[in-house]
Amino acid sequence: MTDHRSSKGPIRIGTRGSRLALAQAHQVRDLLMAAHGLSEEDIAIVVMSTAGDRIQDRALSEVGGKGLFTLEIEEGLLSGRLDLAVHSSKDMATQLPAGLHLAAFLEREDVRDVFIGRTAPRLAELAPGAHVGSASLRRQALIRRLRPDLTLSIFRGNVQTRLAKLEAGAADGTLLALAGLNRLGMAHVATEILDADRFPPAPGQGAICVESRIGDERIAALLAPLDHRATRLELTAERALLRVLDGSCRTPIAALARCGADDRLDLHGMILTPDGTAMHEDRVSGPADEAEALGTALGRTLLGRAGPGFFEGWAR
């Protein structure tokens, strides 16, 4: 076994400070320890405060988008203060800073969203005019498409913050990712698991990714055993679709790729207007090793169907 210990000190993992982010960082640390015979002393978890965590009173689409969850951490990677960073893949912009790449994708968790109801257990059972809190434009658009009678508002914060707001009566229900609840051992709070075909997830949902510096061969060797091929192919397709659509927090976009046992990949993509009144979706299938081309093709198909005016005034 190659000795990955360094005289420079422990391997430094950068992460946000929420309970979920820390759970994900500890999962990566545990996998590294198991793969390479390392101890906890060989791997340090460095908590970074990000603008996305600090700004709680506005939608991310109003203040800069997904990069607010990664900027400070990526600066730590580029400066050498961090060796790798652990992220939720759905938080990652399609264009990374020069010199950085996504070196590993852990095996994907459940991709579905869940509804957590305070006054009714299912989204369809909420009373007319009931209030649902969500910070995601995708979730808001899908809810408006299914239940245009509901009242929606921005619900920012980590899992515990959102659940506390719900418990305090700030809304009749909210939505979260099942993957995050599973990682926190909190799946029991969900009152309804939403069907992924009818309520498709965000691109990258359910997958943890690890970011590192391009050319850092020591870190690349450490991360290689953690990279899950099927998840990488699925995320490659979803991120290619997102790239074509110029997706960010400003655009209600859903995508879900599934890599089958026959090494074929199925990709479902959807774009919506924020009010949910207009929607375009399609599916494509092909060899899994053509994941990027499949995602690019589906993105172009959706753009063509939507027409040049679809994103005007709200998608940038």
Cα–Cα distance for residue pair 280/5, rounded to 1 Å = 51
Cα–Cα distance for residue pair 93/143, rounded to 1 Å = 24
Contact yes or no for 210/226 (Cβ under 8 A) = yes
Cα–Cα distance for residue pair 164/154, rounded to 1 Å = 15
Q: Helix 229-244 and helix 291-306: axis angle, to 10°?
A: 30
Count of alpha carbons within 13 angstroms of residue 113, beta-carbon side: 30
Contact yes or no for 166/66 (Cβ under 8 A) = no
Cα–Cα distance for residue pair 72/77, rounded to 1 Å = 9
User: How many beta carbons lie within 10 A of that of residue 148, not counting itself?
Assistant: 10
Instruction: Indicate the residue type of 95.
Output: Q
Cα–Cα distance for residue pair 124/42, rounded to 1 Å = 50
Instruction: Indicate the residue type of 108.
Output: R
- The single residue listed with the structure tokens 């969900």 is 190
Q: Which of 91, 110, 113, 216 is catalytic?
A: 91
Q: Is residue 216 annotated as a catalytic residue, yes or no?
A: no
> What totals of helices (H) and strands (E) does the chain contain, helices first?
10, 13
Cα–Cα distance for residue pair 211/313, rounded to 1 Å = 33
Check the CA dihedral 50-55-56-58 and report its sign: negative
Q: Are strands 43-47 and 253-259 parallel, antiparallel or unpaired?
A: unpaired
Rg over alpha carbons for the chain, rounded to the nearest Å, is: 20
Q: Which residues are catalytic?
A: 91
